[in-house]
Structure 1
Amino acid sequence: MSTGGLHRLKSMRNQLSASERKIAEFILAHPREAIHMTAAELGKRTQTSGASVVRLSKSLQLDGFQDLKMKIAGDLAKPVDQGYRDIKPEEPIDLIIRKITSNTIQSLRDTAEIIDCRELGKAVQILLQAKNVHFFGIGASHIIALDAQQKWLRINRGATAFSDTHLVATQIANAEPSDIVFAISFSGETPEVVKILRLAKMYGVRTISLTKYGPSSVANLAETRLYTSFSMEATFRSGATSSRIAQLHIIDILFLAMASAQYDKIVELLDKTRKATRWLKDNN
């Protein structure tokens, strides 16, 4: 069942136009009523217009109001989410374990709900054709870049994960026609990542972005856009906890989708690298 309509509305409401935000607030307050309305009826009820309802659906990167209604109906049919829970001073260890586990699961579920399978499929095809992938992120996002590089190298794919912008600029200047710059920034506003994407665009290098859901400078510059969920409920989420897991989850999905597309070849490559690392272990 299609879900994620309410999560998209919550994540995007502060970035919508005034009329779109008015519609979003009504839907969030009255979801069961909204899914039985036409766009014209909802526009009249919110003192906006049917066209504004359609624009809201497009702003949420959906195919139309019917698509939004189907996702909201799916949300209403599923169990109620627990939401993100922050830790408190002197929290017992067992409660920290339960809260962080719950937050991680929630983040993965929220991210799965906003994945655009068509955009993800597009990214997979681009990555399968790429000679080299230049993963780039700053701070916690660099950890994601390193994880991706390790995966790509295991299947004999050219991959870099520099955190130095000058080195990445060098890679872009010398890029092959099929090379990809894969930009990672949870906020979507990391200045260094924005500059690298602008440089890639200048040199005609293809780009993929991975950011939080919603419009951002990084996503707007990228040719192909991937997203993780975005929630602000828990203070320590800003320290790259659940958000980092969600980013790793997207990298895993991309990697395994590539493996599925070229199954026999990639299994053979993984077996070769596994044997090499096992030899190191056995010959200490």
Structure 2
Amino acid sequence: MTSTEAAPGVLRRLEGPADAFPGALRAIADFVLADPAAAARMTIVELADRTGTSPGTITRFSRACGLTGYADLRVAIAEEAAGRTTANRWASDIGHEIHPEDPLDRVLQVLVSANSHAMFSTAERLDPQIVDNVSAALIGARHCHFFGVGTSAITAEELAIRLRRIEIPCWVWPDVHSALIAAAQSDNRDVVVGVSFSGRVTETIEVITAAATRGATTVVITHDAASPLAEHADLLLTTAAPTGDQPAQSMADRHAQFLLVDVIYARIAQLTHPGIVDVLERTADALQSHRLPPRPTRKRGRQ
């Protein structure tokens, strides 16, 4: 075979039965599989040196892969490694069940299914008593501080905005330095809320740990009850765990977190009713001048 086209799937061949590449050839195969991109950048002498073989053995290995020589092998490995990297990045950021060529209705179906699954799973594992405890802590706090990183920061900000409207004294911190200063100034009269889907974001762990040291009530929203962040929570709210094959996981995670925001906000509204009604009316009136009136309905047909 004289071209890379004659032997597609070189890396897949190397993943096959061990006896397909016996002895020294197996050592080369294992090295290439461990880091295909790095192997493709090496000269024949460099690869021989790294695998403890010889240039002649590398040439024999290339022929065992169905190629005429090492030059063809390097090209084949490089192309296949690049394809795998692109596929892996797409799968991790978009999902296994959404493909670039899918029609929009297929994309919509997958996303609705993923988001619904995340929300229903979160609802099933939600402890009403913990929700009440979190709500009571927020209602009675002197100061409430919220912090998250990335998409979890959006969740933290949304919860703070909701609660601020009903006169819960809230601050959401956009960076870890500001959040750490707030945590250092907190005490047992305050609540500090950390949001992290994984529970393993170091900045959020640092903020919640600092708040716990000061005696503040710490609230954590995460999916992993055994995560390092959860270890420092006085009150823990968990969202649905990832399913492994669930598509568009990061998008679904956000919807699960927002469900908890809705539940906390609604529960606080219930616990502070009827006094909250006057607050809602005043805040609505304050914003009324910034809203355009609805357009009159147009009648169809000739006038």
TM-score range, shorter chain: 0.5 to 0.7
Match of 1:86 in 2: 97
Partners of 2:114 and 2:248 within 8 A in 1: no
Q: Deviations over 1:56-80 (max 9, x none)?
A: xxxxxxxxxxxxxxxxxxxxxxxxx
User: Which residue of 1 is the match for residue 209 of structure 2?
Assistant: 198
1:187-207: CA deviation from partner (whole Å, max 9, x where unpaired): 001000111111112211110
Match of 1:273 in 2: 283
Helix, strand or coil for the counterpart of 2:145? Answer: strand
The aligned residue for residue 185 of structure 2 is 174
Partner of 1:252: 262
Match of 2:154 among 143, 152, 161: 143
Q: Which has the larger radius of gyration?
A: 2
| Structure 2 alignment gaps of length 5 or more | 1-94, 294-303
**TM-score, scaled relative to structure 2:** 0.62
Identify the residue that residue 234 of structure 1 maps to in structure 2. Answer: 246
Q: Distance in 1 between matches of 2:163 and 2:177?
A: 22
Equivalent residue, structure 1, for 2:33: none
Q: Which runs of 5+ in 1 are unaligned?
A: 1-83
Query: Residue type matched to 1:198 in 2?
Result: T
> Do the aligned residues in 1 keep the contact of 2:160 with 2:171 (CA within 8 Å)?
yes
Q: CA deviation at 1:105?
A: 1.1
Contact 1:85 1:99 in 2 (8 A): no
Identify the match of residue 264 of structure 1 among 270, 274, 289: 274
Q: What is the CA distance between 1:166 and its match in structure 2?
A: 1.3
TM-score scaled by structure 1? Answer: 0.66
Separation of aligned partners in 1, 2:189 and 2:176: 21
Q: 1:128 aligns with which of 119, 134, 139?
A: 139
Write out aligned runs for 1:1-284 (5 A).
86-175=97-186, 177-231=188-242, 232-237=244-249, 240-282=250-292
Percent of residue pairs identical: 26
CA displacement 1:7-58 (0-9 Å, x = unmatched): xxxxxxxxxxxxxxxxxxxxxxxxxxxxxxxxxxxxxxxxxxxxxxxxxxxx
- The CA deviation at 1:282 is 4.9
Matches of 2:228 and 2:271, distance apart in 1: 31
Deviation, 1:176, is 5.2
Look up the SS of the partner of 1:178 in the other structure.
coil
